[in-house]
């Protein structure tokens, strides 16, 4: 128990001294994760006026909030998460587990046949700290997100997804390269250095998979 207490204390100290946590609080953003997305989007100029954006694993809403502000009044932002998310003006939220067919059907009904320009996925399972358990769960979510992009992302569209390096990572990247013209791995500044997360940016969805 003492080690857990020390670990929790260390995490809290790191969290509240984090410049991105302070920035999020000062700027009224829902989470520091907004600045990961800001760096990724601005580096590659991923957003254009009028885009349709789907944000998977959206709660507490930092990514959707940032995208909605960046798009202004146009376009659509559709967010989904298994956790409840307080409403955001201009964001359509679907509450449910992305692994459930009925939840996926609700997302598809919301799109109503409209093609998506940008799919974002910051999804992650509840982490147990055991790689043999966590990595397969995370990979399953990543595969579901890729399947969704296969069906709903327009040709030429962009898919940005959080991944965890480990078993299955290289195969997943190879699968992305068959689907997209350009695939890059990014580690934004706001991503904590000790975190195993990286982001795969897949641009230029192919009309026909290689």
Q: Which CATH number does 2-205 carry?
A: 3.40.50.150
Tell me the β-bridge partners of 163: 198
Gap between the Cα atoms of 203 and 121, Å rounded = 14
pTM of the model: 0.86
Query: Which backbone phi and psi does 79 adopt, to 5 degrees?
Result: -115, 145
- In b/e form, how buried is each residue of 147-167, taking b as 16+ CB within 10 angstroms? ebbeebbeeebbbbbbbbeee
pLDDT at 12 over 70: no
Q: Is 113 annotated as a binding residue?
A: no
More confident: 110 or 22 = 110
Tell me the β-bridge partners of 53: 77, 118
Kindly report, residue by residue over 73-104, the tens digit of the pLDDT: 999 999 999 999 999 999 999 999 988 999 99
DSSP 8-state class, residue 195: -
Q: Where are the domains of the chain?
A: 2-205
pLDDT at 9 over 60: no
- Residues labelled catalytic: 162
Query: Which backbone phi and psi does 135 adopt, to 5 degrees?
Result: -65, -45
pLDDT at 20 over 70: no
More confident: 125 or 172 = 172
Nearest to 185 by CA among 167, 164, 204, 168: 164
Q: What is the mean pLDDT of residues 131-142?
A: 88
pLDDT at 26 over 60: yes
Q: Is 81 annotated as a binding residue?
A: yes
Q: Is 122 annotated as a binding residue?
A: yes
H/E segment holding residue 164: strand 153-164
């Amino acid at each position: 128990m003492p080690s857990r207490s020390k670990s929790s204390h260390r995490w809290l100290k790191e969290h509240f001294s984090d410049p991105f946590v302070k920035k999020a609080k000062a700027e009224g953003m829902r989470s520091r994760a907004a600045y990961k997305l800001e760096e990724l989007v601005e580096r590659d100029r991923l957003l254009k006026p009028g885009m349709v954006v789907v944000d998977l694993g959206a709660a507490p809403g930092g990514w959707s909030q940032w995208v909605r502000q960046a798009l202004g009044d146009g376009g659509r932002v559709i967010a989904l998460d298994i956790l409840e998310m307080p409403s955001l003006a201009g964001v359509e939220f679907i509450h449910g587990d992305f692994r459930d067919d009925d939840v996926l059907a609700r997302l598809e009904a919301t799109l109503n046949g409209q093609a998506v320009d940008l799919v974002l996925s910051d999804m992650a399972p509840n982490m147990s700290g055991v790689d043999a358990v966590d990595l397969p769960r995370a990979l399953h979510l990543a595969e579901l997100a890729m399947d969704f992009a296969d069906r709903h992302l327009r040709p030429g569209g962009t898919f940005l997804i959080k991944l965890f390096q480990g078993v299955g990572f290289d195969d997943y990247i190879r699968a992305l390269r068959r689907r997209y013209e350009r695939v890059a791995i990014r580690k934004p500044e706001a991503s904590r250095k000790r975190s195993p997360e990286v982001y795969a940016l897949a641009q230029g969805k192919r009309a026909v998979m290689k």
